[in-house]
Structure 1
Amino acid sequence: MLKSSHHSIAVGDRVVDLANETLRDGGGGNVPLRPRAWAVLRLLATRPGQLVGKDEIMDAVWSDCEVTEDSLVQAIGDIRRALGDAGRSALKTLPRRGYMLVVDEGPIDARLVHGDTPRLSGIEEQPASSSTPPHLSIVVLPFANIGGDPAQDYFVDGVTESLTTDLSRISGSFVIARNTAFTFKGKAVNVRQIGRELNVRYVLEGSVQRGRDRCRVNVQLTQTETGSHVWAERFDKPATDLLDMQDEIVSRLANNLNAELIKAEARRAERSPHPDAMDLYFQGRACINKGVTPVFLAQARDFFMRALALDPGNIEAAVAAAQIDVSIGSAFLTDDPSVQFEAAEAGLNKVLLHAPSHPRAHMLLGAVHMQSMRALGGIAECRQALLLDPNLADAHGFIGLAKFLLGRGEEVEAHIHEALRLSPRDTRAYLWYMFVGLGKLSLCADREAADWFRRSIEFNRNHALAHFHFAAALALLGDQKEASAAAAAGLALDPGFTIRRYRANPKVDNPVYLAKRARFYEGMRLAGLPEE
């Protein structure tokens, strides 16, 4: 299958030409590979038949930037596709350890190594790699110390360094390392030139001004290709404990940037005549962020399935596809949510075999456990996700949901406040507001529940379940007119909803929770939601 020479490794009809730094096909033509994927392949090809550990590969290939293991998984997927038919069998994955090119010695066709096959005149050979900046590639320039007090430099630099680290946790991101970014400290910069020099799509700049009682942070995200601003934000915070303040500033910025970068990448992908797998992934994520409706979820699933068709090894698309199943089951959009939860669990377990440190995969697996009679196990998975990514505010939200399912509605609000502290404008905050409303409703605090449901709907109206719960709370309060209007708004988004479907899928068998849930059915009936 795989044959080697002093300077080349043949894999099926492909040749890894180490001397010329190219991957060639059966006709001697170059097979394009992105620079990092080529670097991984080159490292494996220099040690055929040997296990090369994940940490060693990461240290060798991404020494100049901070990325997650997902970047390695994506590079391996790129290599397998580039190697063609033999790629999957020749490039072995040793779970949790590393990768290996399997060797079968034998002669190599000289035409494949040297590229002697005749070419059509007037057609230039394509380069082995593209200079196009990677998706979600960004450099965080050193933030400016507006006050000018040298004693504050350590705090301002700490914000920059921590933000660089935390942005590298964003799925699919490529973040220039701190040492490179800090060479620009104190210099006037041209973002378009920086984009060309560092091969990144985005530049993040900012400033910090600390007074005696307040800390003000200004940030702006710029697209390097055009020099246009993508996003800007300013916020003030009381200057209390410095480390806590720094953590909160960084968490809020990282979560806001996650959402803004997804929107920016999705807009870019819409203009692409030939979107790749990551283009499709970002478009799907943008659909998910619009809300939980059958239409948006169907659109998002289509993008993720197309991404996986192009790249079966795309970890992010696989996790996002599982999220669609979790959303459908959680929102009572089907008569038998167990089908969706089982599909999501199978998909997430498969992902975690290849990427055991993927925070969102652990979090979503926790969500499946919570709604499949395993709430405590779900909390454990979400806590694992938070160990891997302390900024993952949604994991706090799901822990709050689990407390409601365990019949501990009085504990929900504290978890949601922690999620909102990390990400007050999160695209999924409408779900967190609903979780608090559920906890309040289970405690018969109907007025407070209605207020939280109202906040959920005002944040994002495209979530039928929030409308249905709002209708139930209003009906229990005796506000029949507004309850009927809320019920109608929900049915416009999900015409198939019935009380029977809701009652038949309680998600847990906790008797305390089930007894409290009976009030929900009563409120829904009073609001005029259909029984069957």
Structure 2
Amino acid sequence: MKSSQHSIVVGDRTVDLARETLRDERGHIVPLRPRAWAVLRLLATRAGQLVGKDEIMDEVWSDCEVTEDSLVQAIGDIRRALGDAGRPALKTLPRRGYMLVTNGAPTDGTVVSGDATSRSSNIEELPAPSSMPHLSIIVLPFANIGGDSAQDYFVDGVTESLTTDLSRIAGSFVIGRNTAFTFKGKAVDARQIGRDLNVRYVLEGSVQRGGNRFRLNAQLTDTETGSHVWADRFDKPAAELLDMQDEIVSRLANTLNAELIAAEARRAERSPRPDAVDLYFQGRALQNRGVTRVLLAQASDFFARSLALDPGNIEAAVAAAQVDVSLGSAFMADDVNVHFDVAEAALNSALLHAPNHPRAHMLLGAVRIQTGRVANGIAQCRRSLALDRNLADAHGFIGLGKYTSGHSEEVEGHIQEAFRLSPRDTRAFLWFMFVGLAKMSINADREAVDWFRRSLEVNRNHALSHFHFATALALVGDLKEARSIAEAGLALDPAFTIRRYRINAKGDHPIYLARRQRYFEGLRLAGVPEG
């Protein structure tokens, strides 16, 4: 490698700082995405010196909040762009940063002799990363297999919108549509795409119209193993195409969010040295399983370990706050406001660093809805939806806000909107419970029984759903089943009492408080301890 004032030569590549380009031996520009070029430019201007990870992140991503995965992805892009010289020239200094090596002896104790680099005792260099960034994915153009070329624009629209919407998933890295569409109509090898683009997952699909129905098939493939992670089929009546496109994309994005979290958590379990992001995904996977003390304690431990490794991990901080929101929401304390206060402080802190974080706004809304500030809480949830239209859980919390403010008749409409976006959501058990509460509050107890039963059918790991179901059963006179359900709830949360439920009302609206009085008798009839 040799350098001049305006350029640095790396093998057969030239980092042209004057023209801000990377060129090959024939003078052709080697494409690099803007952030990757910015990283390379910074390293080139400091060639032979260690540049810390935090400094690179602050310099290159000063305008947005991203995880370290973005830097790892950029480094991978640079190594591939540099070709054969990429591995020996671009050095990784574990937990510290990166160095672009020049002729002679670089700093920090690394000795270079030609292309061979030996390490001094104070530096343990890792090989170029072979693992792909967490949640890295390419959405390949969906195939139009109906034979109607007029549907091409709709099929392409699904692909483009899904690319955009998946990029909203926390911590995701999604290959841009221009690159993805170069594969349109071609036979592809998912493992080869993974190697070429350094992505962990490939999403493929097809759309077919038959008569008055559309059928969409989708499958997610792990590029490292070539195995299918998930596959599903969506059938819908043909309607207004743009509306249907939005709904299909929302459903796919929400389903994939949960599936990708589960897949990343499984990867992390196999890792001998999980990093902060691995630990975050393991905690999120536990949260998706339900709301019990055991699950929440385990999830909280993963988030604490993640934050210990990376105190700036906003996703882990928001997820940790969600643990306290869940503890307060499920009446798992004599004074639930202790948990709500902790969560609110953590969420406000996260929003100072990432003011447009959708889930942080939604969870802050959930806290305020349940602490007597319903209007502000609903506004926070609407803000989260403006930032991420697919955040179905925000509609669920708006429904809860309607219930606590005495507007139970409006709850079901908001929950139906949540289900429209995410019909098989991991949080569906809560949404069913919210409608059940609304029905019970207007004395529609038989309807409430049906909604609570559906809540337990999709997830039994929620003690509060058991207690509400038992209440409704008792109020309609089915005492035997009510007591059985209450016992199952107490097995999940032995400390739950009627007193705890009574003193922790989630709001002060007089209609809500008045309607709530009849629940206490139902809990007594079901055998829940008075406390």
Q: TM-score range by the shorter chain?
A: 0.7 to 0.9
- Tell me which amino acid in the other structure corresponds to 2:132: P
Shift of 1:112: 1.8
Cα displacement (A) at 1:395: 0.4
User: Structure 2, unaligned stretches of length 5 or more?
Assistant: 7-14, 18-32, 47-54, 75-91, 98-104
**Partner Cα distance (1:341, 1:123) in 2:** 46
Alignment partners' CA distance in 2, 1:261 and 1:324 = 20
Report the CA distance between 1:46 and its aligned residue: 8.6
- The residue correspondences of 1:18-29 to structure 2 (distance < 5 A) are none
| Structure 1 residue runs without a partner (length 5+) | 1-5, 8-17, 21-34, 61-68, 88-109
Matched, 1:175 2:170: no
| Deviation at residue 57 of structure 1 after TM alignment | 4.5
Query: Shift in Å at residue 126 of structure 1?
Result: 3.0
What is the match of residue 438 of structure 1?
437
Deviates more, 1:318-327 or 1:342-351: 342-351
8 Å CA contact retained: 2:139, 2:202 = yes
Secondary structure at 2:107 match in 1: helix
User: Match for residue 229 of structure 1?
Assistant: 228
- Residue 129 of structure 1: CA displacement? 5.0
In structure 2, the residue corresponding to 1:112 is in which secondary structure?
coil
Q: Secondary structure at the match of 2:138?
A: strand
Q: What is the match of residue 30 of structure 1? A: none
- Give the deviation of 1:125 after TM superposition: 7.0
2: CA distance between counterparts of 1:418 and 1:481? Answer: 35
1:223-262 residue CA offsets vs partner (Å, 9 max, x unmatched): 0001001100012101010001000110010001001111
**For residues 379 and 119 of structure 2, what CA distance do their matches in structure 1 show?**
61
1:47 Cα shift? Answer: 9.7
Kept after mapping to 1: 8 A contact 2:94/2:125: no
Within the alignment, does 1:342 sit opposite 2:341 as a pair? yes
- State yes or no: 1:364 paired with 2:363: yes
Hey, what does 1:353 align to over in structure 2?
A: 352
Deviation at 1:111, TM superposition (A): 5.4
The alpha-carbon distance between structure 1 residues 130 and 397, as it changes in their structure 2 partners (threshold 3 A), is: same
Matching residue of 1:425: 424
- Deviation, structure 1 residue 211: 2.9
- Residue 27 of structure 2: aligned partner: none
Distance 1:518 1:124 in 2: 67
Q: 1:277/1:86 Cα in 2 relative to 1: closer, same or farther (>3 Å)?
A: closer
Name the SS of the counterpart of 1:221 in structure 2. strand
Contact 2:94 2:124 in 1 (8 A): no
Secondary structure of the residue aligned to 1:356 is: coil
| 1:274 matched residue in structure 2 | 273
| Structure 1 equivalent of residue 295 of structure 2 | 296
Deviations 1:149-203 (A, max 9, x none): 2211100000000000000001111100000000000000000000000100000
In the alignment, the residues of structure 1 paired with residue 346 and residue 200 of structure 2 have an alpha-carbon distance, to the nearest angstrom, of: 31
Report the alpha carbon displacement of residue 364 of structure 1 after superposing the two structures with TM.
0.3
**Highest relative contact order (Cα 8 Å, sep 6+), 1 or 2?**
1
Structure 1 stretch displaced more, 35-44 or 249-258: 35-44
RMSD: 3.4
Aligned to 2:515: 516
1:338 CA drift (Å)? 1.2
CA distance in 2, matches of 1:350, 1:450: 40
Does the C-alpha gap of structure 1 residues 369 and 123 become closer, same or farther in structure 2, counting only changes over 3 Å?
A: closer
Offset of 1:336 from its aligned partner? 1.3
Q: How far is 1:131 from its partner?
A: 3.7
Aligned residues: 471
Amino acid at match of 1:112: T
- Percent identity over the alignment is 68
Residues in 1 aligned to 2:96 and 2:223: alpha-carbon distance in whole angstroms: 38
Deviations, residues 462-486 of structure 1 (Å, cap 9, x unaligned): 1000000011101111111011011
Deviation by residue 1:417-438 (Cα, 9 ceiling, x = unmatched): 0000000000000000000000
Pairing of 1:57-456 with structure 2 (within 5 A)? 57=60, 69-71=64-66, 112=107, 115-116=110-111, 119=118, 126=125, 129-456=128-455
Q: CA deviation at 1:145?
A: 0.4
User: Aligned equivalents of 1:41 and 1:181: distance in 2?
Assistant: 24
Partner of 2:500: 501
Corresponding letter in the other structure for 1:508: G
CA distance in 1, matches of 2:110, 2:392: 52
1:159 corresponds to which letter in structure 2?
V
Q: Name the CA distance, whole Å, in 2 between partners of 1:438 and 1:432.
A: 10
Q: 1:178 to 1:363 in 2, by over 3 A?
A: same
Other structure's SS at 2:483 match: helix
What SS does structure 2 have at the residue aligned with 1:71?
coil
Q: Can you list the C-alpha shifts for 1:501-527, whole angstroms capped at 9, x where unaligned?
A: 010100211111000010111110111
- 2:132 counterpart SS class: coil
Distance 1:83 1:203, change over 3 A: closer
